[in-house]
Amino acid sequence: MDKQKITGSDALLKTLIAEGVETIFGYPGGQIMPFYDRLYDYQKEIKHVLVRHEQGATHAAQGYARVSGKVGVCVVTSGPGATNTITGIADAMMDSTPIVVISGQVPAPMLGTDAFQEIDVIGITQPITKWAYQIRKPEEIVWAVSRAFYIASTGRPGPVMLDFAKNAQIGLVDYTYQKVTTVRSYQPFPTIEPGHIAAAAELINSAKRPFALVGQGVILSGAEKELFAFLEKGDIPAGSTALGLSAMPSDYRLNKGLLGMHGNIGPNRKTNECDVLIAIGMRFDDRVTGNLQTYAKQAKIIHFDIDLSEIGKNVPVDIPVAGDAKETLAAVTERLIAADHSAWINSFAAHEEEEMEKVIQKEAYPEEGALRMGEVVGKVSVAVDHDAVLVTDVGQNQMMGIRYFNYRRTRSVVTSGGLGTMGFGLPAAIGAKFGAPARTVCLFTGDGGLQMTLQELGTIMQEKIDLKMVVLNNAFLGMVRQWQELFFHERYSSTVMENPDFAAIAGAYGIKSRTVDKREELDDAIAEMLHHDGAYLLVVNVETHGMVYPMVPAGGTITDMIMDEK
Amino acid sequence: MNGKTLYTVIIFSENTVGLLNQITIIFTRRQLNIETLSVSPSAIKGIHKFTITTFADKDTIDKVVKQIDKRVDILKAYYNTDEDLVYQEIALYKVSTELFMKMNGVEELIRKYNTRVLEMNESCIVLEKSGHYEETQELFDELSHSIGVLQFIRSGRIAITKSKVERLSDMLSAMEKRLDIKPEER
């Protein structure tokens, strides 16, 4: 049979389509132009979103992946196009987000000559990717691209970089799609040890005060139902990491809230009171554990994880349960004896009351003084009936966002956890809206973070993206200011922000906007934002000296939380 | 090395470009110095074997090896201490022909160190010795003190475990079994 040869760019596009890609985020340039030229003929199959900066493309791909569970894709040019993706790739690596980044590269014969816009992308990205590969020949395209999707999306997900030499984009090749389903040297799903399953079940059955820590692994594995069955049968209360939020609905009786530095009092204190600590798809980050020397020393620890290198990395584990949480949770649940831990579960209530009185009441329901960040987040959550996608930037807006927003469905939180990338929010929200077009997407950002990727308002304008954006404007780099107040003798070094008129900026992009200073106007402004058909930027000028409480100082014991003393 | 042990890390990998970099950056992150490094094709076609020695504590080496093992292109990584291994290094010594000829006890020296002469010309002689670090070092010291060494080179360590089977063959057969069952059917 005579086969028509096609260009490498066509082969890439056809492979992307075969891998189920519908949306890509990108920015053209010299060494990726042959691809963009061919893309022009695939506009029906693939939606290309033109961002305003390549960092935005990566965060958008992350937001897309996080809400949809699919692989996010971005395409950029060589040199600065590629280096601008580094922050997003590193963020995706830390937060286990499946993305494939395709960068143009100078033609293979010119590699190593310091050609215009040539950079060693593979060398730069190897430490921050699951896999990085340079495509030098059109014959490698189908294999490399399909392999990239397989690696990015299986096991513990993560970013893959494909460096795509220009000659491979132009060269002709016979195209036959063949899906990669195995890689000899890569075992994404570790073998489940029946002995460990049995030991874990036995230990949980013997527990008087079991406590579960829910991480993003539950969401990535699609194990929400298995988690529910596990917690129900064992009658086990659970706390959640920032990235694990929305794996359980906020109002679920066994959901005891957020863990860690700005988490809820109950789950943090109970970590050091429980007799069996069950970590599921989380990695004992220092923002969750505080001082490891005083962390859960009284407890036997069971760790469910798909990544063997995480087990025992930070916290010594008594029973490791390696494998995909969907399978391991189900297997352990089968061996559980239905338990009743109601006294233990009820003991969380005192902590909840204490937190309500010392922190939440003042933050979320103030009656006087300047507007508070928690108050704004809480009101938006109520107004969307606790059923929107929350996207945050990084800093106080992020901690307030995840503390006061509520969830009904899984995959409802998009935030930069491990890397803590300011500027993440706005582009990630763009990606989230493409990933979940039927859902309301609410962004909470700060005046600092917004200005790091502000240019993406242009993307929102051009693509007419219906985003509900809330700027919690305290005219400070608030989280750094908070640390300066608490730990640096109130020396506010370089944290005061003289800000532009954000509403005027939104106006210049044709985005509807409103600025609110007074409590009386807030409800009306939120309603206006949510009822507006299209993008809306709500600027809320909040208390400039607002603080996020409770707080466990970095390296402190997880039970020693600072409360709002004012 | 303040309480640190010399570990030998043995890694089997696909033979792809850039693999050494992937491995060394993991050592770098943990501030581990690579003492010796040897890379060569393994007994199995297409699979390369890295032998790396480094001073570390057990906890660190355990985590580093897990991180290496996790990389997509790595088939298997493990670590051993000297007791578990048969290991060897090779060293070459270039000395002046004139001084070597004048030296007393050449035969004795060659017998004592089980040394071979690889090359001999008017200006220099190249000796070869294989052994543990201390053994190759001892010959170097003796030659240095007597006639001087013009050039010296020592290879990285190569090592095999004392256990009966090479672990890779077990692993490969398990892996091939696995490849028949598609792991991502879910």
pLDDT, tens digit, 9 for 90 and up, residues B76-88: 999 999 999 999 9
Nearest to A309 among B17, B67, B73 (CB): B67
Per-residue DSSP letter, A163: E
pLDDT, tens digit, 9 for 90 and up, residues B8-52: 999 999 988 889 999 999 999 999 999 999 999 988 888 999 999
pLDDT, tens digit, 9 for 90 and up, residues A428-471: 999 999 999 999 999 999 999 999 999 999 999 999 999 999 99
> Does B119 lie in the same domain as B56?
no
Higher pLDDT, B183 or A323: A323
Last residue of a domain, one of A348, A380, A413: A348
- CB spacing of B175 vs A187 below 8 angstroms: yes
With a cut of 60, say whether residue B172 has pLDDT above it: yes
For residue A61, which phi and psi values (nearest 5 degrees)? -60, -35
**C-alpha closest to that of A71 among A443, A464, A424, A431:** A431
Q: How distant is the Cα of B177 from the closest Cα of chain A, in angstroms?
A: 11
DSSP A246-291: TSS-TT-TTEEEE-STTS-HHHHHHHTT-SEEEEES----HHHHS-
Q: How close are the terminal C-alpha atoms of chain A, in Å?
A: 80
Question: For a pLDDT cut of 90, what percent of chain A falls above it?
Answer: 98
Nearest to B183 among A189, A312, A313 (CB): A189
Nearest to A309 among B70, B72, B179 (CB): B70
Is residue A362 in a domain? Answer: no
Question: How far is Cα A94 from Cα A109, in angstroms, rounded to an integer?
Answer: 34
Q: Report yes or no: A366 and A375 within 8 Å, Cβ to Cβ.
A: yes
> Does A211 lie in the same domain as A156?
no
- CB spacing of A309 vs B75 below 8 angstroms: no
Question: For a pLDDT cut of 70, what percent of chain A falls above it?
Answer: 99
Number of domain units in chain A: 3
Is residue A188 in a domain? Answer: no
ipTM score for this prediction: 0.90
For residue A99, which phi and psi values (nearest 5 degrees)? -135, 150
Q: What angle do CA A530, A531, A537 make, to 5 degrees?
A: 50
Is residue A297 in a domain? Answer: yes
Tell me the pLDDT of chain A averaged across its residues: 97
Is residue B164 in a domain? Answer: no
Q: Report yes or no: A66 and A436 within 8 Å, Cβ to Cβ.
A: no
**C-alpha closest to that of A61 among A48, A79, A42:** A48
Neighbours of A23 (CB within 10 A): 19
Is residue B47 in a domain? Answer: yes
> Does B125 lie in the same domain as B90?
yes
Neighbours of A194 (CB within 10 A): 9
Q: Report yes or no: A99 and A72 within 8 Å, Cβ to Cβ.
A: yes
The verdict on whether A293 is a catalytic residue reads no
Mean pLDDT on A187-206: 96
**CB proximity B182 to A under 8 Å:** yes
Q: How distant is the Cα of B45 from the closest Cα of chain A, in angstroms?
A: 14
> Does B134 lie in the same domain as B152?
yes
Residues 107-166 of B with CB under 8 A from A: none
With a cut of 60, say whether residue B1 has pLDDT above it: no
Residue B73 belongs to domain spanning: 5-80
| pLDDT at position B183 | 40
Tokens of A190: 């570790």
Per-residue DSSP letter, A92: H
Cis-peptide into A550, omega within 30 deg? yes
Q: Report yes or no: A456 and A51 within 8 Å, Cβ to Cβ.
A: yes
pLDDT confidence of B165, banded at 50, 70, 90?
A: low
Q: Identify the CATH number of the domain in which residue A274 sits.
A: 3.40.50.1220
- CB spacing of B21 vs A126 below 8 angstroms: yes
Question: How far is Cα B112 from Cα A323, in angstroms, rounded to an integer?
Answer: 56
pLDDT confidence of B166, banded at 50, 70, 90?
A: low
With a cut of 60, say whether residue A364 has pLDDT above it: yes
**Which amino acid is residue A373, in one-letter code?**
M
pLDDT, tens digit, 9 for 90 and up, residues B87-140: 999 999 999 999 999 988 899 999 999 999 999 999 999 999 999 999 999 999
Q: Identify the CATH number of the domain in which residue A417 sits.
A: 3.40.50.970
Question: How far is Cα B154 from Cα B36, in angstroms, rounded to an integer?
Answer: 10
Last residue of a domain, one of A125, A142, A173: A173
Q: Which residues from B are below 8 Å from A186, CB to CB?
A: 72-73
Q: Identify the CATH number of the domain in which residue B20 sits.
A: 3.30.70.260
| pLDDT at position A112 | 95
> Does A51 lie in the same domain as A155?
yes
> Does A385 lie in the same domain as A524?
yes
Q: Report yes or no: B7 and B80 within 8 Å, Cβ to Cβ.
A: yes
For residue A469, the surrounding DSSP H or E stretch is: strand A468-473
Number of domain units in chain B: 2
Question: How far is Cα A28 from Cα A79, in angstroms, rounded to an integer?
Answer: 12
| pLDDT at position B173 | 72
With a cut of 90, say whether residue A528 has pLDDT above it: yes
pLDDT, tens digit, 9 for 90 and up, residues A241-290: 999 999 999 999 999 999 999 999 999 999 999 999 999 999 999 999 99
> Does A385 lie in the same domain as A453?
yes
Give the up-direction half-sphere exposure of residue A203: CA atoms within 13 A in the CB hemisphere: 23
> Does A163 lie in the same domain as A201?
no
Partners of B80 in the β-ladder: B8
pLDDT, tens digit, 9 for 90 and up, residues A215-239: 999 999 999 999 999 999 999 999 9
Mutation pick from B15, B44, B64, B72 vs chain A, by most beta carbons of A within 10 Å, is: B72
Mean pLDDT on A54-62: 98
pTM score, whole prediction: 0.95
Is residue A363 in a domain? Answer: no
Q: How distant is the Cα of B25 from the closest Cα of chain A, in angstroms?
A: 7
> Does A157 lie in the same domain as A21?
yes
Q: How many residues does chain B have?
A: 186
pLDDT, tens digit, 9 for 90 and up, residues A482-521: 999 999 999 999 999 999 999 999 999 999 999 999 999 9
Nearest to A309 among B17, B66, B72 (CB): B66
Residue A282 belongs to domain spanning: 194-348
Is residue B104 in a domain? Answer: yes
Is residue B29 in a domain? Answer: yes
> Does A336 lie in the same domain as A212?
yes
> Does A240 lie in the same domain as A168?
no
With a cut of 80, say whether residue A2 has pLDDT above it: no
Q: Report yes or no: A277 and A271 within 8 Å, Cβ to Cβ.
A: yes
Q: What angle do CA A529, A533, A539 make, to 5 degrees?
A: 25
The verdict on whether A479 is a catalytic residue reads yes
Torsion of CA B54, B57, B59, B61, to 10 degrees: 0
Mean pLDDT on A197-202: 98
**CB proximity B13 to A under 8 Å:** yes
Is residue B58 in a domain? Answer: yes
Give the up-direction half-sphere exposure of residue A55: CA atoms within 13 A in the CB hemisphere: 17
Q: Which residues from A are below 8 Å from B79, CB to CB?
A: none
Higher pLDDT, A4 or A217: A217
Is residue A526 in a domain? Answer: yes
Is residue A377 in a domain? Answer: yes
| pLDDT at position A4 | 81
Last residue of a domain, one of A139, A173, A207: A173
| pLDDT at position A564 | 81
pLDDT, tens digit, 9 for 90 and up, residues A117-174: 999 999 999 999 999 999 999 999 999 999 999 999 999 999 999 999 999 999 999 9
* Three-state DSSP string of chain B: CCCCEEEEEEEEEECCCCHHHHHHHHHHHCCCCEEEEEEEECCCCCEEEEEEEEEECHHHHHHHHHHHHHCCCEEEEEEECHHHEEEEEEEEEEEEHHHHHHCCCHHHHHHHHCCEEEEECCCEEEEEEEECHHHHHHHHHHHHHHCCCCEEEECCCEEEECCCCCHHHHHHHHHHHHHHCCCCCC
Is residue A74 in a domain? Answer: yes
| pLDDT at position B182 | 43
pLDDT confidence of B179, banded at 50, 70, 90?
A: low
> Does B144 lie in the same domain as B101?
yes
Partners of B12 in the β-ladder: B49, B76
Max CA distance (Å), chain B: 77
Handedness of CA A146, A148, A151, A157 (dihedral sign): negative
DSSP percent split of chain A into helix, strand, coil, nearest 5: 40, 15, 40
| pLDDT at position A331 | 98
Question: How far is Cα A416 from Cα A110, in angstroms, rounded to an integer?
Answer: 37
> Does A89 lie in the same domain as A33?
yes
Q: How close are the terminal C-alpha atoms of chain B, in Å?
A: 49
